[in-house]
Structure 1
Amino acid sequence: METPTLTRLTDASAPSPAPLTRKQSRTRLVTAAAVGNALEFYDFTVYGFFALLIGKLFFPVHDPVGQLLLAVASFGVGFFTRPVGGLLIGMYADRAGRKKAMVLTLALMAVGTAMIAFAPTYAQVGIAAPVILVVARLIQGFSAGGEVGASTTLLLEQAPANRRGLYASWQFASQGLAAMAGALTGVCLTSALSPAQLESWGWRVPFVIGTLIVPVGWWLRKTLDEEPPAAHAAEKGKAPKVPLIDVLRDHRRAVLTGLGLTIGGTAAHFIIVFYLSIYGVKMLGLPAWTAMLSGCVSGAILFVLAPVGGYLSDRFGRKRMAQMTRVLLMLAIYPAFVALNRWPSATTLLATVTVLSCVHGINIGGVGAMLGELFPRSVRATGAAVVYSLGVAIFGGFAQFFVTSLIVLTGSTLAPAWYVIACGALSLVGVAYMRESAGTALD
């Protein structure tokens, strides 16, 4: 596989650095692009796993279900600022460059994560505690909204035409690796610490770790090479002053189809990877370590199979792979929840997570490339970021809150399955209207 050599732009007076090999350039590109997304989902994973404890410490509601609802709502509140971040940072990436936008998103994510790590509890500062927590989640959401658009478009634009699916798939593979790391951290902490220690300081450790990862990601992104966007704009003779106007005026079909694609994938992702751990503890009565182990399994599978899905989308077509795997997941999700409720055990939970994650991992492998290929380069970061952040904000960030509320309202423990099926049907509609672009020239 031939990987394009990136041009390093340096000051004329500065000493010339040793050139990177093709393998080093490819590794640095993928790592730098994926690290911010990984940090985001690492934080989301540990937040989800400690949602019950966070609810107890920050939301003084006597009803355990009420505490859970408030905790998952604070998890989802960050998704309110995702579309805003997607819009503003996406336009910044299209005007100033993907690299500058990626450095900005990582800095904002670091601030939000550090705020959670050192936030005082309700017992310490009263109502200010949940306010600090919510503000931190809003900052993280703003950052995450622009992260996917900037980093995924950089991967797409540097990849060979017949490997774009594989390159872009590492964004979602990094989510799996982050989920696995977050779950392992949770398992280790709950196994090594007493409940009192976890409540006192142990729950902060994962967020401190997330903050300490930032300098590595910062260095990778600051030293990344990128062709200036102005050079490509001058070559093509077009440089929109407000990319959002071009997206809404000239690419309405791409926006609608991209939203449809995002809805199904993000609903399935947040239910399978994040909510099943809470579901296992709260609804099935399984021990916390067993539920966290399901997060490890799911994350490991996504890390391995997302690149496989990206490769298959390059070889057999993204549209075909997206349709096949989406239908398979819709067919599997309902009997999976029936089995969980009929035979509630660690074995059933892990088997269910394994099967669902395998199908989901193949499905999301080609999604990053599909979203980026919907838009031309001049508005690609803006279009992809807005579409992705809107879909995730509505159908992913509040997925846990929606299904928890549905279970309370309907009394049916199968509500999560119906939610995934409904979102999957909307996704199939969006995919049906997409043009196949695997292997074609990228503007």
Structure 2
Amino acid sequence: MSHHRARSSIGNTKPFLLVLGCIIIVLFIIGVIPKAMQKGELTNKAIQLGSEIPVVQTVVVTPAPFEESATLPGNIGAMQYATIYARVDGYLTGRMVDIGDHVKAGDLLAEIDTPTIDEQTAQAKADVAEARAQLVSAQASLKEAKAKDETAEAMVTRAAADQSYAAVTAERWVNMAARGAVSVQSRDEKNTALAAQNASLEATKAQKRASDQAVAAAESQVNVTRAGVAAKLAALARYQAEQAFKHVRAPFEGVITARKVDPGDLITAGSMTQNTELFQMAKLDILRIYVNVPQAISRYLETGQPAELFVTGFPERTFKGTVTNISGALDPQTRTRQTEVKISNPEHVLLPGMYAQVKLTVHRPEAWVRVPSNAVIPHGADLEVVVVKDGKAHYQKVVLGRDFGDELEIKAGLEGGETVVLSPEDDLREGDRVKSADIASR
């Protein structure tokens, strides 16, 4: 019985092993053989692909335009603008203009009552009259002193003549007394007379010196009073000038843009912060606008070059301007260069404070080219582009100019007309054969 059971167990196992073997064979056929076939196909494809020429995306480079434009925002302002303050204290008695009024240079804008200045002016006039009267008196005294001086000079002349006669007479009598022709007493009388004449001459000379000093003193007094008159006249002129400031006049031809006072207001002279201005006015014939030009084109700016202005309120018009002033330095914060553009505005269409767009067109003298940014690749310390020539790739060193974001300016290395590769692969080698797929033409 045991032997029968063993044979029965072996008989049952054989079909199982047979089925298992069949399953393994089927799985092998399904899994391994297709993979082997697929691997062979992939290998054949790889060999086939390795023998094909790679296709690269390219563009044909043309020279960059010699003109470049930029449209920049700015605020229009008046070429000539003034805030008018009072020059004297007082009350505003009259206002002759209001906002929007057109005035000419010298037109009366307002009047200020100035009683203090008026009183000071009247006092100055009285001081001038008094000084002039003193000058007349001093001149009269000088004239009198000169007359006395002339009298003294005549007396000196007469005394000198008398002294000369007395000297001759005394000498004659001395000679005659020596010969006994006259008495000694007579001689002594003549000598005494000569001494008296000598004393009289010295006295008249002293009077002449005194009269000369009197003339000099009178002349000094005239000069002093004349200087006093000049000082009083200067003070009067100053008060009259201040008095003239009661009439507030337009400094130039223009339009009143603001009015801050009314009749009866107390006006304080000066332009300090706490003082209120009377008017603001602007000259509208010529306006100006300041724009900040980017560094990329600022080097090509020139005074006198034209500019175009676009104002939202006038979509159908293009206003013409001229570059008049260019800053000598760039703002280190914004890397821009402040530029002034003047606009002729004879019709007064444009107004100060308007927002405008200014288009500047500059001319670049260098013959440069531009390429897409992804065409330039670093190679060590240099920058290169891949140029396709005769179906082969060639690495070309370039020197960059300005960076425009998606484009780069090439100053050296390319002349235009070359075909360059966009985003070249890292494994692309010098001299490799490539096939160009031109996607853009510059």
- The higher radius of gyration belongs to 2
Q: TM-score range by the shorter chain?
A: under 0.3
The structure richer in helix per residue is 1
TM-score, normalised relative to structure 1:
0.17
The structure richer in strand per residue is 2
